[in-house]
Amino acid sequence: MKSSIIICPMGYCLSLLFFLASLPGIFAQDVKHATVVVDGTLTTATTDDNFICATLDWWPHDKCDYNQCPWHYSSVINLNLSRPLLAKAIQAFRYLRMRIGGSLQDQVFYDVGNLNSTCHPFRKMKDGLFGFSKGCLHMNRWDELNHLFSRTGAIVTFSLNALHGRHQIRKGVWGGAWDSSNAYDFMNYTVSKGYKIDSWEFGNELSGSGIGASVSAELYGKDVIKLKEIIKDLYKNSDSKPSLVAPGGFYNQQWYAKLLQVSGSGIVNIMTHHIYNLGAGVDPNLVNKILDPRHLSKVSETFSGIVQTIQHNGPWASAWVGESGGAFNSGGHRVSNTFVNSFWYLDQLGMAAKYHTKVYCRQTLIGGNYGLLNATTFIPNPDYYSALLWHRLMGKGVLAVGSDASPYLRAYAHCSKGRAGITLLLINLSNQTDYIISVRNSMTMRLHTKKKMQTESSLIHGLKRSVSWVGHDTLNGATREEYHLTPKDGYLRSETMVLNGIPLQLTESGDIPRMDPVHNNVNSPIYISSLSISFIVFPNFDAPSCA
């Protein structure tokens, strides 16, 4: 039998082999053609330059849920800051936004100034808030943390203790004025050392009925006015002043509206809310929820609600997701740290940006089951690479996207980051349908009649008619970049993510691996396999709003 030799330009062979390798799947599964239409004439929302954010929490190693203790030594207080991989993981983002906070922050004292108590770490305490005693942050530890932030370029939000000085007036409800003295001394120390803090947040999950504890919106509003005065005083000689962030809780329309009304214009710069829309980490249906488009879409009501609340009561403020880990109580074991979680995570990022969210903070950078990094080895989990690809490819401008595919194919588009064109995120939640995608530019589509558009958006038969239209400026030979993400060996709960057929693993020298795309001609088919995620970059897409 005569042998065959494939001759192709450099950079295209890998793409061809990747496509050929998928052909058995094409014929073995249900294959559907779908059209995705992107409107590049107008950005519907904008994010912050540093949309991706990750948290460092206070939980000690003996924080346990469901007979599991997944935090190890990943706390703000005891994380090993000298591990080279930690710095490399942060530096890879250039620059990663980080939020320092979590459930125990409202029990943290700062060992500075006139602190009238012993500075000790958190200890198990039956009657304590969340089952722990008060804890303390030594200033030498704060110095070490800031050294890490400085050398990695981290952009820091620090969330302050908002319960200091208050007392419990009934179960779960706290009253009395906030004692700002310890926070003032801590912030003053921070300023005196020249440490750069991008924003100061006030409290954690004290809004509405609270989690563990709650404070009324009236009291909270008065206290953030006090915090704003402290920021103005301490940074009066600075060229820029940190933003004031609040309340770092679960969205409650009446409470959030009241906070903005009581605090008044320009006091709260950023309204943060937390999301754990997958439920408890022990839920055996976590994977089913992650792969259910109806469940994923339910949280859009929260995103829409907070945008409307800000518009009506505090249009000077913007919205952040201050903490989101998918499943609460440390995340889901063998779910939150595996490939399948990226379906939830990337869909959340896309939806949040679509609803005018400026920053999205993932719980956590390290710690619990939902850490971007493994809590003991510091090796990146799959969601780390998802976050890094988003950060590198998706720009600030959010674009409108339409599709004739089923709800199991999720599509989001942004202006590309740092260059012309657009980046399309495609998430295929279906376990039995592969898609051949035709991407079209709405500017081109408008040249056709409504009847013609309906005909061309219907399912098309055959690979030859499945093409990508990226606008009238496209030239023959123009290429697009493709980043196809799948789990190792097809196992959804794999802790190894595969990019274009290559497992993402640390290099021999312990560095974050390169994440190179495959290149394809813009007129070739886009093949999206079942249960996979793809970023597609169109450098030549005609998008005036991205210019």
- Write the pLDDT tens digit of every residue in 359-410: 999 999 999 999 999 999 999 999 999 999 999 999 999 999 999 999 999 9
Residues annotated catalytic, as ranges:
205, 323
SS3 412: strand
Q: Which of 322, 356, 372 is the last residue of a domain?
A: 372
Between residues 64 and 471, the one the model is more confident about: 64
Same structural domain, 117 and 246: yes
Host domain of residue 471: 13-45+399-546
Is 79 within a domain? yes
Check whether 446 has a pLDDT greater than 60.
no
Check whether 258 has a pLDDT greater than 60.
yes
pLDDT tens digit string along 63-93? Answer: 999 999 999 999 999 999 999 999 999 999 9
Distance CA 365, CA 152 (A): 14
Distance CA 338, CA 165 (A): 42
Work out the average pLDDT over 425-453.
Answer: 80
Same structural domain, 250 and 177: yes
pLDDT tens digit string along 196-215? Answer: 999 999 999 999 999 999 99
Work out the average pLDDT over 438-444.
Answer: 91
pLDDT tens digit string along 306-365? Answer: 999 999 999 999 999 999 999 999 999 999 999 999 999 999 999 999 999 999 999 999
Same structural domain, 78 and 205: yes
Residue 150 pLDDT: 98
Same structural domain, 354 and 406: no
Q: How many independent structural domains does the chain possess?
A: 2
Q: Of 485, 483, 491, 484, give the one whose Cα is nearest residue 338.
A: 491
> How far is CA 304 from each of CA 184, 363, 409, 413, 490, rounded to the nearest angstrom?
35, 22, 22, 19, 35
Q: How confident is the model at residue 443 (pLDDT cuts 50, 70, 90)?
A: confident
- At 6, give phi and psi (nearest 5°): -95, 120
Check whether 450 has a pLDDT greater than 60.
no
Same structural domain, 328 and 444: no
pLDDT tens digit string along 473-532? Answer: 444 579 999 999 999 999 999 999 999 999 999 999 999 999 999 999 998 889 999 999
Same structural domain, 19 and 125: no
Work out the average pLDDT over 268-290.
Answer: 99
Same structural domain, 145 and 41: no
Cis peptide before 242 (omega within 30 of 0): no
Check whether 28 has a pLDDT greater than 60.
no
